[in-house]
Structure 1
């Protein structure tokens, strides 16, 4: 039996954050389980933990964020934006988000982090003079990938921001690898309640 799906309801901080973003609209346990590729037992445990610290409420129509949950998501959104599904790259499910005020980084290390977390690939971009560009040479993304560039305009970007794009075989891996890269840059600044979830 695959232990991940079995008796040990294990989840990572990436799962917890993905669930909080998903619950901006009410969802049932089965839907969360399918979208994040987690066992239902794991989702039950995670939701129980999130509601025990007052972030999630459960009603007949499913689970949703409490007022405190909404506040926590707003705090997280000051660090990095909500993941956005964008045009598929290389035929894979693709997501993007913005990391605000990024610390110093090496693109190659961030790409490696994404791939270690089951992404098929990742792209690290920066915003300069209102334009999303490749940090290595300042080349505008729109010159190589106009469709993706158009999609990324939906993100709340400002000069100096970092834009991370990851793609994977399924939604769960694309989403969680993306959040993982954002956390590798901003993890220490997460609200304490979220950090404690996985201690």
Structure 2
């Protein structure tokens, strides 16, 4: 994953990953708040590299594109990525990433949250799966007491393991939650954390 204008490239690719049907350029531009000319150039590049396919109805991510998303996440230590309802967080959608094991004492929760908010998310929830519960560092409050539906959605995931780091960014629109998630992964605090304490694994992504 890269920064700068390529963040728009990633945003388009991630948006298409979570969009099951063909979608037109105008909708992509409108929902992601990226100029239509810029979207046209990004889609042209994605087509050239085989990451999307195009029909009269619009564009859709290809199997190769899905693998590219998974590999990008894997390079950042994310094993699984999915969407969930965020009504209990006073938002519309939450993007949840499950990473490999991490030392909770080294997590800068405020820094990670600030990076997500700077990227456009309304907020972020950072938790660690420990002893069968999702703990919110540093106070170790149980996430289920704060957001029970999200907690159940996370704990049913097969990729969850002891000391796994869970990142959840939420927003009123998918673009806000996705942009915040990308910003957090590109930020200083996750970079320091992943270099020091995350064990890489095999990523899985879905939208269920």
| Same fold? TM cut 0.5 | yes
Q: What residue is the counterpart of 2:204 in the other structure?
A: none
Query: Structure 1: which 5+ residue stretches go unaligned?
Result: 1-9, 189-199
Q: What residue is the counterpart of 1:146 in the other structure?
A: 148
Taking structure 1 as the reference length, what is the TM-score of the superposition?
0.74
Which deviates more, 115-124 or 24-33? Answer: 24-33
Q: What residue is the counterpart of 1:101 in the other structure?
A: 100
Structure 2 distance, partners of 1:59, 1:88, is 35
Q: Please state whether the residue corresponding to 2:149 is helix, strand or coil.
A: helix
Deviation for aligned residue 1:41: 1.8
Structure 1 distance, partners of 2:45, 2:133, is 41
Q: Please state whether the residue corresponding to 2:140 is helix, strand or coil.
A: coil
Structure 1 residues 64 and 163: CA distance shift in structure 2, 3 A:
same
1:108-119, aligned counterparts within 5 Å?
Answer: 108-119=110-121
Q: What residue is the counterpart of 2:180 in the other structure?
A: 177
Q: What residue is the counterpart of 2:52 in the other structure?
A: 56
Deviation for aligned residue 1:102: 6.2
1:6-45, aligned counterparts within 5 Å?
Answer: 12=7, 13-23=9-19, 25-45=21-41
Structure 1 distance, partners of 2:93, 2:169, is 6
Structure 1 distance, partners of 2:175, 2:82, is 12
Task: Determine if contact 2:88/2:147 at 8 Å carries over to the other structure.
Answer: no
Structure 1 residues 66 and 90: CA distance shift in structure 2, 3 A:
closer
Structure 1 residues 70 and 146: CA distance shift in structure 2, 3 A:
closer
Which deviates more, 98-107 or 112-121? Answer: 98-107
Structure 2 distance, partners of 1:167, 1:19, is 15
Which deviates more, 82-91 or 170-179? Answer: 82-91
Deviation for aligned residue 1:131: 2.2
